[in-house]
Chains A and B, each alone.
Chain A
């Protein structure tokens, strides 16, 4: 109830009205584009072009039908799932171990390495992708799942480690020391004590890395082929053309955003702490 005095001080009408208006505009601005694309997925092609758009209409499923029956869109969906889940496992496992390692260093080398992590986040994808494409081509990795999984993992790992390290740093050293005194080895202490304590941190990192991989386009565009295209590449192939089949595109976009928005909604608390941890705690 600490907010009551502030609310009272601001109860004058014109500012409150302006505030309400701004929030309404902002809410519309945020929600309308998503509503537009999702609702278009269920409209007849003719109605997508009709202005003003009808707010109430009878939904149709022909666009989805076309995607799954003619374009094998289910495969893209499965590919996205395989890639993003693998990337999540790899980066969380390696990132958590590395974050624990950074904490254990007695010398200042841990801090130096933490700084290096930040550099990893700054490397543009295209700068890695062009030479990587040549190397993966030589190793015959293009067109396999391994290509995008490795690429996403390496690009996301510095960021995941950075987030995990910011949580591990907060664990008091006494907890580690007391575990060692009781005869726990340092690895045993990690699995028995540290890892369970990190559950919320891991949830934060999971949602962030999963949405990164699920939504990533550039690497997948060049490293996958017809058999391994994820959803983003499937959509990009529809959009690239000069004229756009809006019905099909909107349905494809809806399939791509629905699951990740659902996961994000369920894990909202962790999404928010993950973002603020990455940005604020450093």
Chain B
């Protein structure tokens, strides 16, 4: 007696569906439900204890407030600047280091790799802590700058609104550049050496080899890294939380930091959620949708 295919675990899509159920329910229950609840709450004035959806509906109030709230707009601007600066540095330093490490002898490269992976394993809160010590006005960075004759005013670090955001970006580079190095190195290994040799025979220089061969061949790898690390830069929280807490003068407040402060410290949960929703929309718009389109193209090829 054969069972009909629809009810058989051995044929058809019943078994795969069952296999997906635990994972999908966890993500639905713990991620999607809160997100939907948050989207709902962002149109209400929520307060603990006395929340009545019939009277608390405020429509777009929180979103309109966002666009009239100077600090919120500043947080949006800071987040975009952080993202742009972080990505620019990650890519430049990461590419330079990866190409150099790749050109080393195998024994040296094997020595360098364990050092490179260390920053990736350090908790971002500790990264913030370390750099807070480094940026201390009486600390090691300014002692070194003093030694070589650079005045404090040249780079006032986290004490001035003009350089605080850059200081957080530098701390981010320290942690994330190694990720680029690891992924790019894997990409570089996949390029056949014959290509380089042929180019060198034709008299091409190091720079033109990079732009003519390496970069085009690693295009997909770069795109994926851009989208993965880009998403993370829009979400930035921990490093800023430990390093500057958003100051001085709100110059390092990111969307995540501002949503956190509004929601948990000022007790304005609905507005905090609205700010966080803007952060999510920014992530999806800037990196999410391109990511999905890119992935679809790649799989079709």
Q: Show the binding face of A for B, using Cβ within 8 Å.
A: 2-3, 5-7, 9-10, 19, 22-23, 26-27, 29-31, 33-34, 36-37, 40, 49, 51-53, 90, 94-95, 97-98, 100-107, 109-111, 113, 115, 118-135, 137, 150-151, 153-155, 157-158, 161, 180, 185-187, 211, 214-215, 217-218, 222, 231-232, 235-236, 239-240, 244, 246, 249-250, 253, 256-257, 260-261, 264-265, 268, 271-272, 275-276, 278-280, 282
In angstroms, Cα B126 to Cα A40, docked, is 13
Per-position contact with A for B98-110: 1 when CB-CB < 8 Å, else 0? Answer: 0011011110000
Q: Which residues of the partner chain B approach A109 to less than 8 Å between Cβ atoms?
A: 13
Q: In chain B, what residue has the closest Cβ to A184?
A: B10
Chain B positions 24-60 with a Cβ under 8 Å from a chain A Cβ = 24, 26-27, 29-31, 33-35, 37-38, 41, 46, 48
Chain A to chain B: the 7 pairs with minimum beta-carbon distance, closest first:
A101-B19, A131-B38, A154-B30, A215-B123, A98-B23, A51-B143, A101-B16
Asked whether B269 lies within 8 Å of A130 as measured between CB atoms, the reply is yes
**Smallest distance from the beta carbon of B130 to chain A beta carbons, Å?**
5
**Smallest distance from the beta carbon of A274 to chain B beta carbons, Å?**
10
B138 touches which of A23, A49, A103 (Cβ 8 Å): A49
Asked whether B96 lies within 8 Å of A235 as measured between CB atoms, the reply is no
Q: In chain A, what residue has the closest Cβ to B30?
A: A154
Assuming the contacts A53-B140, A280-B224, asked whether A127 and B38 have C-beta atoms less than 8 A apart, the reply is: yes
In angstroms, Cα B50 to Cα A22, docked, is 61
Asked whether A19 lies within 8 Å of B298 as measured between CB atoms, the reply is no
Q: Which residues of the partner chain A approach B280 to less than 8 Å between Cβ atoms?
A: 122-124, 127
Q: In chain B, what residue has the closest Cβ to A230?
A: B123
- Name which of B127, B242, B269, B283 has the most chain A CB atoms within 10 A of its CB: B242
Asked whether B130 lies within 8 Å of A33 as measured between CB atoms, the reply is yes
Assuming the contacts A7-B105, A101-B20, A131-B41, asked whether A157 and B27 have C-beta atoms less than 8 A apart, the reply is: yes
Asked whether A131 lies within 8 Å of B35 as measured between CB atoms, the reply is yes
Asked if B82 CB lies within 8 Å of chain A CBs, one says no
Consensus secondary structure, chain B interface: helix
Consensus secondary structure, chain A interface: helix
In angstroms, Cα B68 to Cα A263, docked, is 48
Asked if B299 CB lies within 8 Å of chain A CBs, one says yes
Q: Show the binding face of B for A, using Cβ within 8 Å.
A: 9-10, 12-13, 15-20, 22-24, 26-27, 29-31, 33-35, 37-38, 41, 46, 48, 96-97, 100-101, 103-106, 112-134, 138-140, 143, 174, 178-179, 182-183, 186-187, 193, 196-197, 200, 221, 224-225, 228, 231, 234-235, 237-238, 241-242, 245, 255-256, 259-260, 263-264, 269, 272-273, 276-277, 279-280, 283-284, 287-288, 291-292, 295-296, 298-299
In angstroms, Cα B292 to Cα A282, docked, is 11
In angstroms, Cα B33 to Cα A132, docked, is 8
- Name which of B27, B106, B126 has the most chain A CB atoms within 10 A of its CB: B126
25 contacts between A and B (CB under 8 A): A33-B134, A52-B143, A90-B26, A97-B22, A102-B20, A113-B20, A115-B292, A119-B288, A123-B280, A124-B276, A126-B235, A126-B256, A127-B277, A128-B34, A128-B38, A130-B269, A133-B264, A235-B129, A239-B132, A244-B133, A261-B121, A276-B182, A276-B186, A280-B221, A282-B295
